[in-house]
Structures are given as structure tokens and as C-alpha cells.
Amino acid sequence: MNELMPNAATVADLAPPPTGRVLIGVCTLNEAANIESLLTHLRMALPDADILIVDDNSPDGTAAIANRSAEHDARIRVDVRTARGLGGAIRHAMQAAIDGDYEWFVNLDGDFSHNPADIPRLLDAATHQTTHSTKSGGRDVSSNAAATNDAVTINSATNRSVTNNSANSAASNQPADEQPTANGKPQREIDVVIGSRYVDGGSIVGWPLRRKIMSHLVNRFATLCLRLPVRDCSGSMRCYRVQKLKEAGADNLVSNGYSVLEEILIRLKQVKAHMIEVPITFTDRTLGESKLTSREAIRSMGQMVKLALKQ
């Protein structure tokens, strides 16, 4: 059962931002040292977005601190869950995005491992980039090529927006996500933008070698065994088209731990979501403690094996 904290606005109460409907979701557990500053930086990065904090009843008072920020910002909502688990928290946030009829849902960690300043880049890639439906030999390609269900990488240094100026009559016979460009080649809408540590320009700062190796193995397993078309399958900084989350049945995800991040991509792949990766720098937390224990890592790997066997 989920409890809405006092002074928190409901989804229906949140005013739509003038530049589009965007919901930023942050799942928290014992992030009292980070949450106030994070909310400040999120608002600076995206002034018109709504922000949802999904807190797993943190004993350190994370939700209370977030609610103090919500008292001064009507677009901050704080939900406290009695249950715990990243999977359930992300499902809750995604369902809020679906119920609130948002266009985009952005997810990131609550410990500053993800830089809020990267969010506009992800949204820009999602809303201003279109990719030609032309088969590419690899994932490190420019924004003008994509496989039917493959991901492409957009390097922020060479990123260029592509404007579709086609007449409506020319687009009438094309699928909704494949509209013709001025040169006649079909383009596809982007459904998922992943803030990636493992594409050119992406990096990890502050992790010990052991954790880097573990993360690399997890992602190789997901790419090969789960047949996911991206290099960073376990990173949580992502921008999703909410309609695609609805099509994928995000409310029916079964993973309760970190493997939910791979399960989401599996579901999205099944509904032919178009995914791209944008390089980010992931910086290990400086305040608070990591929630990814060895036990949780083993449990998540077991869940991924189950997901692989179902494919």
C-alpha cells in the first residue's frame, strides 16, 4: 500500500510545464544527505518539469526533507511506500507518469551518481533527433542511421538536430513512428534515451576495479543472453516515451530488485521501442551508502537468468 505524504501534490494537481509534459522520477532509500541539493539541481536543470520522489520509507528522514522542498515547489511530489525494492519503486514512478498522461518520463539515481545537468541532453536527443530507418553495422553510428530494433549512439560532441519539414500529405501513408524526411527516407521516433557509461564519451568515476568488472559482466550478459540492443543495460539514467511504457506494460514488471532495469528494456524491445544511447559520466556517490550489496547483485543475476530463459 502506498501512502502520499502530507503537503504533496497529486499528479492531477501538477500544472503542465509550458515546454511539454515531463516527469522526473527519483527512487530513494536513505538519501537524506543528498535529496535537498538534488532537488535544487533538478529544478535548475529542468525548470518546467514535474518531479516525483518515491521513497521506500527511509528511516533517515529523506521523505521529510523532500517534503520541505515540496512546500515551496508545487511541482514536487513525494510518495512514501511501505514496501521496499527498486523494482517496485520504479513501477510506482512509471505508473504515475502513465496516469498523469505525461509525454516523457526521466529516471535517475538519488545520490548524484547521475548529473542532473545531463537531463536536458537526454530530452533533446529524444525530442529533436530522428533517425533514418537504415540498417547499420554497429551501435556506434551517427544519429542518421538505425536498425529496425537496434540502438544507436549519439555523441554529444557531434549531435545535430534533424528537423522534419515534410508535408502532412507525404506522411499520411507512413506508420506513426516512421515519417518521411525531405529526402524521402523514412524516419523513426525515438522512444528511449539511455544515459550510457559504455559508449564512446561515457565513463565511470570513483568505482573500484572489482565493481567495474562486475558491471561489465552484467552488461555483457544482458547484451548477449537477453539480446538487448544497447551497451549499458543496467544504468538507470534514462528518458522514456510514456506511451511506449504503457504499451510495454510497465505496470506488470515482476523484478523487484536491480534487474528491473533490464526487464524494462526487454519489455520495450518486445513492443519495438526505438532506443538510443547518449554518453554520460557516472560518478560514484560521495555521501551515503550504496544499496547494491553482494546479495542483491546475486539475486538480480538470478532474476536475469530467469528472464533469459523466458525469451
Report the CATH number that the domain containing residue 48 is assigned in CATH.
3.90.550.10
Question: What is the C-alpha R_g of the chain?
Answer: 19
Task: Give per-10-residue mean pLDDT for the chain (311 aa).
Answer: 36 40 97 98 97 98 98 98 92 97 97 97 84 34 38 51 33 44 65 98 95 87 88 97 96 88 95 98 81 61 66 68
* Confidence at residue 251, expressed as pLDDT on a 0 to 100 scale: 84
In a domain, 276, yes or no: yes
In a domain, 58, yes or no: yes
In a domain, 240, yes or no: yes
Question: At how many degrees (to 10) do helices 35-45 and 62-70 cross?
Answer: 40
pTM for this entry: 0.78
In a domain, 151, yes or no: no
Closest CA to 199 of 143, 257, 280, 128: 280
* Confidence at residue 169, expressed as pLDDT on a 0 to 100 scale: 31
**Residue 95, domain extent:** 2-127+191-310
* Confidence at residue 226, expressed as pLDDT on a 0 to 100 scale: 87
In a domain, 100, yes or no: yes
How many domains are there within the chain? Answer: 1
In a domain, 161, yes or no: no
* Confidence at residue 24, expressed as pLDDT on a 0 to 100 scale: 99
In a domain, 180, yes or no: no
- Burial group, residue 211, by CB count within 10 angstroms (0-12, 13-18, 19+): middle
Closest CA to 200 of 245, 260, 142, 155: 155
In a domain, 297, yes or no: yes
